[in-house]
Structure 1
């Protein structure tokens, strides 16, 4: 892992992704850059995010983080994992490998997804989530979604 890698940010990203899915019905981020100082996630999104929505997003994420949810990892056979999560983003070279074991990360009963990254053991370790900014790039072609970029920081618990 890179020395810039931060398990606190990674767990926060999982909670952000699931909160975006629940609030707006969009998919998980299609691109992200996580490091200890600040991070960003990009979403396929149809419009700009309103400031009130951004404030509610931040509030809900902090509410989830404060629930002291355990963060667990487990290795599951591909077939079993595919019943729980979308495996569509696994690297192409792994397609067709039926014996493949998939690492699954669960954040309490809030989020579950395939993931290779390190995480905290409990959401209460993450600290406070702060949505620093959000910007929107309109779609470039017919039928495409725009790109919503969310930048965030954490104030870690001392």
Structure 2
């Protein structure tokens, strides 16, 4: 089992770890700050360096049988200590993007009482689908003003890990149309944009909304009678 260092410190750029298993695709570490992907957020990129100075590029993470595999092309290192380093510039942009998605979700839940029906993100851009019947340009402009106002509020973002039963007692913790938290998960991590949005979430986030930058809703479309999609860009 790999200890997930990013769960308690999204700003950790480098770490040391021990290779506990080498498999066909790559290596399994005893601990890692690489986000493996999930919840619409892509995995981290970066590198692993052995004590003899050999560097292995990591551009994918695979999840197999409960293992997190740092994918390596070509020859793989065997059991030893390594130094890991994530592509921080890319990670930080994804942190800003993921937090922006929570700001959008929080505003629409608060002001329009609409649940999320789907979503995905890439670096500095993301889309979310909501259970909404109608959406016009005027409404989109109104939402854009509101989400940027939340950035200016400089709201702190607090990460906590709760026992499952305790977490599920929190009102409106699950903002998706269906509960996506697997039943075998015994602890639930929450992301709290204080005063706006509290959700179960496993991804990486910035510490304050002021870090996000400005947000622009670049596209909206209907995906069905009560399903509307918003696409958002994160700008410096």
Partners of 1:51 and 1:102 lie apart in 2 by 37
Partners of 1:67 and 1:37 lie apart in 2 by 21
2:223 aligned partner: 137
Higher helix share: 1
Of 169, 175, 186, the residue aligned with 1:83 is 169
Q: Does 1:23 align with 2:103?
A: no
Calculate the aligned-residue CA RMSD, in Å.
Answer: 1.8
Q: Does 1:9 align with 2:97?
A: yes
SS at match of 1:129: strand
Partners of 1:41 and 1:62 lie apart in 2 by 17
2:232 aligned partner: 152
1:66 offset after TM fit, Å?
A: 1.0
1:113 aligned partner: 199
Normalised by the length of structure 2, the TM-score is 0.57
Q: Deviations over 1:86-121 (max 9, x none)?
A: 456243442xx6xx1110110012110100000001
Higher strand share: 2
CA distance change for structure 1 residues 59 and 11 in 2, over 3 Å: closer, same or farther? same
Aligned length: 144
- Listed as ranges, the gaps of 5+ residues in structure 1 are 140-145
1:138 offset after TM fit, Å?
A: 2.9
Runs of 4+ more than 3 Å apart: 85-88, 90-93
1:123 offset after TM fit, Å?
A: 0.4
- The structure with higher relative contact order (CA 8 Å, sep 6+) is 1
1:46 offset after TM fit, Å?
A: 1.4
Higher-Rg member (1/2): 2
Contact 2:117 2:227 in 1 (8 A): no
Partners of 1:106 and 1:17 lie apart in 2 by 12
